[in-house]
Structure 1
């Protein structure tokens, strides 16, 4: 069949053949125009190989030479790994074809290769390949990616071909100062790859290039030091290389030699006049770098060359601080032996001891304390070394710091290490501090308490809010007072629904009749928090919670005003519209009427009624009890007169007192009477059966 073509109106692109037409026959005219435009753009920008010749592969991008290799291999690299000296010259397009897109190499298009694109990939053996495909995914051919072109002189240096290098540098037309895109010239290549004889040949012809820098301000000397070629370093220094020229990070060859941990190169540089107190961009000296490497031999050489012991970097960090921070005890001993200030402080006020405690270096802490390091010197944050050790949980360091730390200094800090240990659940540290006699009732200072939204103050609060039963037990047994915080830890435990914490706190004297000044109520706030946990509510009532206040109502049998609920939280009541003579405190009947609680009003009222005598329910509570038929018996229970047994029980509990109710089983009272007072008789169990935590 003759080939059919479809011409796209107003399009300068090629025509579609019959095969293409069958592919696009279901497209509209506008869609065909769009396809033609896209193919036209691709034909103008995509490199297309010819069919008569192997496909031309775009030139590979020259690889950047590695700046800080991790290997000490001194052999020249493979050809595919070598940095290019100069990029290949750009090719000019033919006169009879349009110029290519600026981002692509020249085109060489044939009819059969129309509509293909080039992609690159790497085989499993690490070989880089180039694939040519049509737009439908059909593979045309694959070819190995060609190597980047390398300057012949650079290649000779890589290969270590000294005769060839000597012959080439004597040629009159060769320019040894022409750099590649990274600013590298031949002398940099020779120094980087440790080609000593090539280096001598280059310097013999043009010695003035010895201090030339790359685009990263690296000299041949710095490159030789970084690659650890001491013979090349000696050669460069003998021929006048400047040992103090830094790179862009202000790192000198001496700094690099210390970084590599090479005493031989350090000695060569010092013997040739290298400055020992030059600062890098961070303010570090060669001594800082030797200390962080824990290389005492190099540090000793630097000190003999007049290196400053107490010199500080941009952040006020001295070499001693670096040794303590890194845990390098040998370097630390050397610095202190040579006059380092043991109590010097960084800009944030931290000392070497503080930093050792922060990083958990026990051996460093022990040595610093033996050398009379000040354990009572706070940083700008106001924290002492014992604070940071407690926060990080280093109990071994805590044991060493306790005898060296002043309790008066701890009090002036406004925070105890107990606070930090409890906040991070460091139970072992907490136990050690308690045994050492730290005050378990220490309060946060006003400034530090403001950092917390709930204005917590005591260590006990931190333990309770973390639901840490072990820490709470230790603190309470050590005499922690559960009633010191503005917002009581008991309320936190109730809100968490943690019955074990509530029991611990109540047994150790937590006030079950708490009122919050900022949120006034006519009944204890503990009742409000426990409304969703009936077992907790009953436990609080058993231990003396004021149930009678729950039945106080300023409206009594009269009509109650409607309650305005907050959109932000339906459990919180807005201030209602009241008369000027009406109490503005939230009342029990109001709280129990919130939508999230009112459906449980009957069981709640039933529990509270067990702990009061003759009371009169207000109109709103009666309204709730009348809303369900099952709650009719609760309403009858509230009608006077109450049973004589109930009134007797309340009277006996009143005589015992609220403070002794939680220890009633230890009082000289018959067991049967104790069960009766604790509502544990069979009748009481039947009455309370079916009440569960909802």
Structure 2
């Protein structure tokens, strides 16, 4: 992102800053910090860039933000600090890094949940082992560490807390509206966990709860806040949309976890819409399935409909299956799509596409599967200046909408 691209409106500056943190765009982040953006600006949920970096386990980003004055104890609207985000998402290196930078390990969320309980809720044994001696008492309305392990069915955490931890970190104290781990398992009707607790010698310290006030169906929402909406993952679609090739390659090579894509879609399908061959090359190099399909619609077919000739040629050269499994062959589809060159159509025809008739027309099924709307859209860098009816099915509009 160039300096001139950033609007003078401060809200847009702030949005650009937080988006850069979400996509690990260090270059843009530095540029905006140099331009005077405060490192502790936050979104509507009071999430800061440091919290995002901690939730993603991005040490480099955290170092940058802290060096520019970011507050390590700044929390979001439920009281979660960067340290708590790192614990909840199991980033042990980020946890250790924040402890070295004086993160308060004894702090709780506004609900009274400790960092240890958050790590247990995520099932991250290495973080639990690191925090096991941090004896921070849980508040009355919050789940204890053992209650969290029981509610999330983390057998290995339960065993560790009872048998292997150096000392019991308040795990047996009745809490969570007067309940303990044994009563939690009983209310959730989890016989397997109840048997495990019994085998470990864990007994209840509270009387049997009155079912009129604590019903099993009403209990699970009481546990939901141990999640605290802490999963802040980068969305690969932002990197594809903005054609951040080098950042995408770096994050994939580092095996970073991304936010889930819509069911049935792949990152290559979105790259086919954008039309950037370099993005597609990075995705294929990192193991994305070239022939994955959504309702039989592959990335190659999407590139054809969008009129992205270079992408079509690249996918063909990389061995993409050109059978459409539809009434129209790929060559026929390309012939009706402006932007696909005659030489590309001839190249497709040489593959001897097998026609497989179906009862439902290709485009009606396409619209139903991807919920496209007919709307004239402006051509972008990788597309022809004029888009035909088939291009008007608005792949880009649909994708940009989902990525915005």
- Which TM-score applies when normalising by structure 2? 0.45
Higher radius of gyration, 1 or 2: 1
Higher relative contact order (CA 8 A, sep 6+): 2
Higher helix fraction (1 or 2): 2
- Which TM-score applies when normalising by structure 1? 0.27
